[in-house]
């Protein structure tokens, strides 16, 4: 099994020590380095610990044999663009089983026409992880509400639609919601 731990860690701007300290229980930077390079076996337990420490789904840490890589040609810093010191790759996302998509046909809020959103479906027990994020909420008769999740009181969700001047709405006990996790925008 090929790991993408190093790519994810670097994409998040974390050091080996940062990740080691985020693990539960904490570990050493040396152990994280060994897991990244394959010098230590990456068990399911370690995969899940690393995913939690990096705040990603465990599927994001596994490189599939047919998965494409996007090579980093340059890095843009405060003093302009420069070449990376060693080979780097951008993360090409894995599409998980709980992922759904949404296409934007008209500009609304921060979204532009032509944008695509990847959303992660959540069960009611996980709704709190989407607080202050944009979410898609199913409504009766095949309708949906796309809004910012402001709060949760029991089974009631308080949502603010993205349209200018929109009023807060309360939705009672949705079966699921999906939080926006990736924006795909063509320039």
Domain limits of the chain? 2-64, 99-184
pTM: 0.61
**In this predicted model, what pLDDT tens digit does every residue of 48-90 receive, in sequence order?**
999 999 988 787 787 766 666 677 788 888 888 888 888 777 7
Tell me the residue ranges of DSSP E strands in 12-98.
62-63, 70-71, 75-77, 80-82, 89-90
Fold exhibited by the domain 99-184 = Umud Fragment, subunit A (2.10.109)
**Mean pLDDT (whole number) for 33-40:** 89
CA angle 149, 150, 152 (to 5 degrees): 90
Residue 1 has pLDDT above 60, yes or no: no
What's residue 141's pLDDT? 85
**Mean pLDDT (whole number) for 89-100:** 70
- The dotted CATH code for 2-64 is 1.10.260.40
What's residue 182's pLDDT? 85
Q: Do 178 and 121 meet the contact criterion of CB atoms below 8 Å apart?
A: yes
């Amino acid at each position: 099994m090929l790991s993408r731990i190093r790519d994810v860690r670097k994409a998040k701007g974390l050091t080996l020590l940062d990740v080691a300290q985020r693990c539960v229980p904490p570990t050493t930077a040396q152990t994280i380095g060994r897991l990244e390079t394959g010098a230590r076996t990456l068990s399911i337990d370690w995969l899940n610990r690393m995913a939690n420490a990096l705040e990603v789904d465990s599927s994001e840490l596994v490189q599939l044999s047919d998965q494409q890589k996007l090579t980093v040609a340059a890095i843009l810093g405060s003093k302009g663009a420069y070449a990376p010191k060693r080979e780097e790759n951008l993360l090409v996302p894995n599409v998980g089983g709980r992922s759904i998509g949404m296409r934007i046909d008209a500009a609304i809020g921060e979204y532009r026409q032509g944008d695509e959103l990847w959303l992660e479906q959540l069960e009611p027990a996980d709704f709190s992880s989407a607080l202050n994020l944009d979410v898609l909420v199913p409504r009766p008769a095949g309708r949906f509400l796309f809004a910012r999740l402001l709060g949760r009181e029991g089974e009631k969700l308080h949502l603010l639609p993205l349209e200018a001047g929109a009023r807060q709405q309360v939705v009672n006990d949705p079966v699921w919601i999906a939080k926006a996790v990736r924006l795909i925008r063509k320039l």
